[in-house]
Amino acid sequence: MRALVGLFACVATLLTGCPHSSGQQDLGSLPSLTSDDPVAEADLRRAREAAEAGRSADAEREFRAFLEAHPADPLVPVARLGLGRVRLAAGDLEGALAQFDQVAESTDPAAREAGRFYQGVALHLAGRHAEALERLRPLAGRTTDPAETVLLLRTLSSAAAATGDTLLALEALDQLVGAEAAGEEAREEARRRLRELTQEAAPDDVARAYAELPRGGAAWPIVAVRAIRLAFDAGDMARVSEMVADLRARDVPMDDELAELAVRAERTERADPRVIGAILPLTGRGREVGQRAMRGLMLAAGNPADGPPDPNAPQLVLRDDAGNPERAAQAVEDLVSEHRAIAIVGPLEGAAARAAAQRAQDLGVPLLALVPDPTVVADRPLVFRLFPAPDEEARALVAAARARGASRFAVLAPEHAYGRAMTEAYARAVTAAGGELVARETYPAGATAFGEAIGRLERARFDALLVPDASRQVLLIAPALAAAGIWSTRAGTPAPRGGRAITLLAPSVAVDARLTASASRYLQGALFAAPFHAPTAAGPGASFADRFRDRFGSAPDTFAAYGYDAFRLVRGAVEAGETTRGGVARWLGRGERAVTVGASGGLGADRGPLQGARLLEVVDDAFSAVSPGES
């Protein structure tokens, strides 16, 4: 639209007269047409003088009078061309076309060419862009008047852009910048439009223009900058380096942005096996979780060092995304291009993790996301997920309940996204394990009273009940269930006072020491999924927890443990001899078991955790680890 507005202004300037352009009638003067009638010549001269002086109404009246008085004179095409130009400048496109159409059918070649030229301009302004191009393309390079050259090339560019022919549009503007006779103002406007059109162009059009535009013109360097940026965003660093070398070979000056991209591309292609990046929410609402994960990573990296660092020691480079997806994606770019990280750990939040995962895939760097969302790794072979997804926790809980004899299952879930996701995962797990889901009840998110939902549950017969909510809600729900006669008990133990004995099941979001401290009598035998639980950790997990307490003065949580494991997995690949990002990704994707402090046991072939979660059971007033296969 901006191009059309500018074109109308150009047409008006050209056609309504300009005191400084006495040669503006060059194409339309048609020197091959003459008349033997001096009256006709005088009448036409008056009309043209009025047009050149900008007296449009007088010019139109004089041109029409000429056509009426001299309908068969050889100068009729000149008069029709003049009348059409006046109507075109006034915005009467159909009236102008009516005149140009007749001129375009003239037997005189010069008149015919002039008619087609203005036909094309009018057709484009009328929105008939393909027809305009058909008439104007053969005329490129044939105009001699500067104003008409500007009009032709601007119309060609605008019509081509409107039909999606970006290359032709850029070529026309390129010619306009190179047309010295066009004047500096017109050339500068063409440069501005070149930058604008290049920025708007689709990546495929940019690639074609980069390949086909003449290297010596004004358009190619502008297109090259956009092509380099697109290649960088797509992670094609080899292509970036190739195009930068092409620019340098032709002595094309590079601005600061282009020079920076060149340096970043060169650094991106070469990874430093010592450097592992991490993207965490160190500020914002998730900062407490981010700080805990950071401590796990620091412990794995040996930070702070006890003495002078070994030059070959692993290096941890942290970036704060504050939970923001855009910052997370930019952090990936910084870690890869500035610090040459061989792999990245994080982020911790879903939207940020998805943005970072896509950028990591684009740039060819392995990323170990610390989120439970399986979609993060979908269609991204360089992205891995350590945290268990809802389906994985649900399968572990249902399998343990089935091992204890449960066959009829129920769910009491909050009405929020996580509650719905966990309910569906539980339903799939129950069906897969050969059980039956007999009841689904819900309560409002954040509720403190559950009488109605539990009342409906009382009418169903079930052996195991999933409550997928945070610990503070489970703390309220457990005694409410007991009050209705539904008790979680250990295997083979009857419920108190003749109540019904069930096994309560809960995901990892419910694990909290306050449960066993305040509500253990209602939760006996309850099973909880737990990717990591410091008080019950054994072997490497216990050793990690002790070292963590010694270093930071507090017990590690799941995020600390999984940050530690993620760093150690990447280091395992490097210590096995992998020195490239692709090599690290292939090593991580082999699906081999690894020693981890969390439950994952390494990464599977699906790029998720090999093991979803360990289980805890409430025994007396504490959580107790459930051994694999224990019922």
Alpha helices (H) along 302-445: 325-337, 350-363, 390-403, 417-432
Asked if residue 358 has pLDDT above 70, the reply is yes
Asked if residue 628 has pLDDT above 90, the reply is no
Reported pTM: 0.66
Asked if residue 18 has pLDDT above 60, the reply is no
User: Among the listed ranges 26-40, 160-174, 481-495, which one has the minimum average pLDDT value?
Assistant: 26-40
CATH class of 2-200: mainly alpha
Residue 518 in tokens: 């305040």
Q: Over the stretch 238-293, which tens digit does the pLDDT of each residue have?
A: 788 888 888 888 887 777 777 777 777 766 667 899 999 999 999 999 999 999 99
Backbone angles phi, psi at 624, to 5 degrees: -130, 140
Residue 84 in tokens: 């059409």
CB-based contacts of 242, cutoff 8 Å, min separation 6: none
Q: Which amino acid, one-letter code, is at 525? A: G
Cβ count near 631 (within 10 Å): 12
Q: Over the stretch 474-529, which tens digit does the pLDDT of each residue have?
A: 999 999 999 999 999 998 899 988 899 999 999 999 999 999 998 999 999 999 99
Start-end of CATH 3.40.50.2300 domains in the chain: 390-530
Q: Over the stretch 138-147, which tens digit does the pLDDT of each residue have?
A: 888 776 677 8
Q: Judging by DSSP bridges, how do beta strands 527-530 and 500-506 pair with one another?
A: parallel
Helix %, strand %, coil % of the chain (to 5): 55, 10, 30
Kindly report the average pLDDT of the chain as a whole number.
Answer: 89
pLDDT value at residue 542? 96
Asked if residue 1 has pLDDT above 60, the reply is no
DSSP at 321: -
pLDDT-derived band at 34, boundaries 50, 70, 90: confident
The dihedral through the CA atoms of 466, 469, 471, 477 has a sign that is negative
CB-based contacts of 180, cutoff 8 Å, min separation 6: none
Asked if residue 2 has pLDDT above 70, the reply is no
**CATH code, 390-530:** 3.40.50.2300
Between CA 494 and CA 547 the distance in angstroms is: 42
Asked if residue 592 has pLDDT above 50, the reply is yes
Between CA 13 and CA 182 the distance in angstroms is: 14
Q: Judging by DSSP bridges, how do beta strands 367-369 and 341-345 pair with one another?
A: parallel
What is the residue-wise DSSP string for 413-432?
EESSHHHHHHHHHHHHHHHH
Q: Please say whether the beta carbons of 368 and 569 come within 8 A.
A: yes
Cβ count near 379 (within 10 Å): 9
Asked if residue 24 has pLDDT above 50, the reply is no
Q: What percent of the chain has pLDDT over 70?
A: 92
H helices, E strands: number in the chain? 26, 13
Q: Over the stretch 402-453, which tens digit does the pLDDT of each residue have?
A: 999 999 999 999 999 999 999 999 999 999 999 999 999 999 999 999 999 9
CB-based contacts of 285, cutoff 8 Å, min separation 6: 323
